[in-house]
Amino acid sequence: MRASIFFIALAAMFGLTHCVSTGTKVTDETIAKIKFGSTTKAELLALLGEPQSKMDTTNTGNYYSKACGEKDAALLALTYTSTKSGIGSASIEMVSFLITPAGIVCHKSGISNSQSAF
């Protein structure tokens, strides 16, 4: 009986402290390996794998093309998303890379958001 109570208490404790992480975390070390203006899309995919989303920027105005110095270029935005959640807290990080029509990584942008219930 005591063993059953111990294992139930242990399982409950693990459940309260357990965190769940999903997606692809893009670290500073990884970003340091990317040379904007020369790293190719293929090299980026080899480094990080497939992104969680892809977006053609053709219909989004000039913002993206100005970021890469490509006038009116149809760029590809590859976005990697990492989430982490646990009891009382959650965080999300998103990093997007812009790819020129020639297949070159030209720009990075990102956001990070953390929330805590305590």
Q: What is the pTM of this model?
A: 0.69
Q: What is the pLDDT of residue 35?
A: 93
In a domain, 6, yes or no: no
In a domain, 101, yes or no: yes
In a domain, 1, yes or no: no
In a domain, 88, yes or no: yes
Q: How many domains does the chain have?
A: 1
In a domain, 83, yes or no: yes
Rounded Cα distance, 73 and 61, in Å: 10
Q: What is the pLDDT of residue 13?
A: 47
Mean per-residue pLDDT for 2-10?
A: 51
In a domain, 62, yes or no: yes
19 — pLDDT class (breaks 50, 70, 90): low
Q: What is the pLDDT of residue 33?
A: 92
User: Is pLDDT of 38 > 90?
Assistant: yes
User: Is pLDDT of 20 > 60?
Assistant: yes
Q: Residue 71 belongs to what domain range?
A: 20-116
In a domain, 66, yes or no: yes
Q: What is the pLDDT of residue 89?
A: 75
**Residue 71, CA distances (Å) to 37, 55, 62, 67 in order:** 15, 18, 7, 10
Q: What percentage of the chain has pLDDT greater than the value 70?
A: 64
